[in-house]
Structure 1
Amino acid sequence: MRQKFKIWLRAARPFSLTASIIPVTIGAIFAGKESKFQFTYYLLSLLAAVLLQASSNMLNDYDDFINKVDTKESGSSSGIIFENLLTPEELSKGGRLVLALGCILGLFLAFQKGFFILILGTVGALSGYFYTGKPLMLKYRGLGAPLIFIIFGPLMTLGGYFVQVQKINTNVLLLSIPVGLLTTAILHANDIRDVYHDKKAGIKTLSIIIGRIGSCYIYYGLISLSYISVLVMTYYRITPIWSLFCLVTLPTALKNISKLHISNGFTYELAALDQETAKLQGQFGVILIISILFSR
């Protein structure tokens, strides 16, 4: 039983789940500065977001396998199917079940907190399903990066906020920018690494469309703009002065940028760049959350 749980946990790609945890938490904490913090609803909204992301990760693994985007040689999936830990059908059914659970939670939150949550949840669920699922297969058409920014930036941050206070705040949308950019950088790092295998599979990610040099500049820009946005928001007092502590993660960011800069094309040297970028996003996000939490 424990071994089976570990397999499913691995299929969910836990290292990436900060992508949903951070924005929902930022939105909820920011709302807590305006009214009483509803911890139970925060946990429910967080669980719904994590379930939707985990289901997308599982279904993405399945779709990439079926469409021959992932192979044993590419090493870009969770490896669950290739190691015969789960069959493709089991992974697909599991992903759909997790998606259904996330949708049920979302419907409950919409019933409790308003129709706007239903809109956000529907957009999130459909985006996760059609990220690689037929007929849209958005990632395979070069739309992965902008979609990820929207979902893991404004949508989830605003969702975490709205569940608490049932209103929209433009400052929350601004707060979503740095974390959304870093989350997009995780996906972009993954796409840069996988260009060779993605080309063989006949799909077109953003990295394939704009080429190596353009892809590198996009990554540099995503990382740089994350820090610049915090500086600007601090200057205009949208975020507290303590949010400048996010700058302590700069060495990690520069290390990732350097790794990409000196890599010889799309090579094995970039194998862990997506995970390293996920660590950066997590560290940056936690510091931003703490700075908001302890601000007046």
Structure 2
Amino acid sequence: MQTQMHTNIPPTKSKDWRVWWQLTRPHTLTAAFVPVLLGTALALQDTSIRFGLFFAMLIASLLIQAATNMFNEYYDFKRGLDNEESVGIGGAIVRDGIQPKTVLKLALSLYGISILIGVYICMNSSWWLALIGIICMVVGYLYTGGPLPIAYTPFGEIAAGFFMGMLIILISFYIQTGTVTDTSVLVSVPILILVGGILLANNIRDLDGDKEFGRKTLAILIGRKGAIRLLAGMFIVSYAWVFILIAMNIISPWLAIVVLSGPKAIKATKGFIGKTIPIQMMPAMKATAQTNTIFGFLLSIGLFLGYFL
């Protein structure tokens, strides 16, 4: 049996497609899909959609998100954070016997494919996006890689929200319109907050284990109760932000449809209260991710309705 750090790699089990699919942590991929859809829906207000660029941006974003998850899997294993009982991980290494180097190579391969797709996007928009794309990929790697992973600091929520939320929306908008507008920035703010909220929920769930391994996440610094209050506040600000933009006549009243996602936000917040065992908090973690997904979809639908009606 091969051993690395303090964690044993079990004998290799069945390596069918479900193992590899779970390695991507599919429940997180909507965090990449929603911003691309929203940025494109925003662009529809100003131009006709170039679907080749839309699908290229969508695929590249999903691949980068999946690769980031694989880097997370690899480096958390290397540092001894993951074991067979760990909650919320892909588990390809500690449960399914996939070799760590295989996971790392796969992540780098997805980055390579993303770069090729990025070349196509740049050829049809602007080569300045190459620099921005490289920065996004470096941040994705440094999230759990490098000497001081971003995920181990209080800045993980901000980094995730900005790079995997706001920036993807603005790039998706830019490749369609050739510009970035005040409205596109303002509409992207709630998604920035909600993507950051997904990470905060993850850190609330993992608070005790992260503290044991010396992490300094925001949830650890402000405590479990403070982190739950912050998460609730992030939900409130996200919804309030949309209604403020409607009141200021910046966006269509159709975007008020986001209130339909409210029950998920309430479920997410209540699901953390009084819980300390990670597995007990998984429904709340899932509800947080679903809030971002449904909220983003509804924002996009509101933009489509405002455009066509």
Superposed pair shares fold, TM > 0.5 = yes
Instruction: Report how far residue 190 of structure 1 moved.
Output: 0.7
Match of 1:288 in 2: 299
> What is the aligned-residue RMSD (CA, Å)?
1.7
Q: Deviations over 1:258-288 (max 9, x none)?
A: 1222x24455321232222111111111111
The answer on 1:40 being equivalent to 2:49 is: no
Match of 1:271 in 2: 282
After superposition, residues 58-207 of structure 1 pair within 5 angstroms as 58-207=70-219
Instruction: Report how far residue 67 of structure 1 moved.
Output: 0.9
Q: Deviations over 1:137-178 (max 9, x none)?
A: 111122211101111222100010011111111211111111
Instruction: Report how far residue 127 of structure 1 moved.
Output: 0.8
Give the AA of the match of 1:112.
N
Instruction: Report how far residue 238 of structure 1 moved.
Output: 2.4
- Structure 2 CA distance for aligned equivalents of residues 145 and 177 of structure 1: 13
- Structure 2 CA distance for aligned equivalents of residues 99 and 269 of structure 1: 34
Q: Deviations over 1:180-229 (max 9, x none)?
A: 21111111111101011112222221111221122112111111111111
Q: Deviations over 1:35-86 (max 9, x none)?
A: 1110111000111111111100111111111111222333231111111241
Give the AA of the match of 2:172.
G
Please tell me whether the aligned partners of residues 192 and 266 of structure 1 are also in contact (alpha carbons under 8 angstroms).
no
Instruction: Report how far residue 3 of structure 1 moved.
Output: 5.8
- Structure 2 CA distance for aligned equivalents of residues 56 and 254 of structure 1: 29
Match of 1:22 in 2: 34
- Structure 2 CA distance for aligned equivalents of residues 78 and 51 of structure 1: 16
- Structure 2 CA distance for aligned equivalents of residues 76 and 29 of structure 1: 31
- Structure 2 CA distance for aligned equivalents of residues 153 and 170 of structure 1: 16
- Structure 2 CA distance for aligned equivalents of residues 68 and 51 of structure 1: 26
Q: Which moved more, 1:127-136 or 1:113-122?
A: 113-122
- Secondary structure of the 1:37 match is coil
Match of 1:251 in 2: 263
- Structure 2 CA distance for aligned equivalents of residues 232 and 171 of structure 1: 13
Please tell me whether the aligned partners of residues 269 and 284 of structure 2 are also in contact (alpha carbons under 8 angstroms).
no
Match of 1:215 in 2: 227
- Structure 1 CA distance for aligned equivalents of residues 183 and 195 of structure 2: 19
Give the AA of the match of 1:116.
W
- Structure 1 CA distance for aligned equivalents of residues 76 and 294 of structure 2: 29
Please tell me whether the aligned partners of residues 190 and 273 of structure 1 are also in contact (alpha carbons under 8 angstroms).
no
- Structure 2 CA distance for aligned equivalents of residues 157 and 267 of structure 1: 32
Give the AA of the match of 2:295.
F
- Structure 2 CA distance for aligned equivalents of residues 236 and 222 of structure 1: 21
Please tell me whether the aligned partners of residues 36 and 58 of structure 2 are also in contact (alpha carbons under 8 angstroms).
yes
Structure 1: gaps spanning 5 or more residues: none
Give the AA of the match of 2:297.
V
Give the AA of the match of 1:209.
L
Moved beyond 4 Å, runs of 4+: none
Give the AA of the match of 1:291.
G
Instruction: Report how far residue 6 of structure 1 moved.
Output: 2.5
State the number of aligned residues.
Answer: 294
- Structure 2 CA distance for aligned equivalents of residues 72 and 142 of structure 1: 27
Identify if the C-alpha distance between structure 1 residues 97 and 139 changes in structure 2 by more than 3 Å, giving closer, same or farther: same
- Structure 1 CA distance for aligned equivalents of residues 233 and 73 of structure 2: 28
Instruction: Report how far residue 13 of structure 1 moved.
Output: 1.1
| TM-score normalised according to structure 1 size | 0.94
- Secondary structure of the 2:306 match is coil
Give the AA of the match of 2:84.
K
- Structure 1 CA distance for aligned equivalents of residues 155 and 111 of structure 2: 21
Higher RCO, 1 vs 2 (CA within 8 Å, ≥6 residues apart):
1
Identify if the C-alpha distance between structure 1 residues 29 and 264 changes in structure 2 by more than 3 Å, giving closer, same or farther: closer
Structure 2: gaps spanning 5 or more residues: 1-13
Give the AA of the match of 1:201.
F
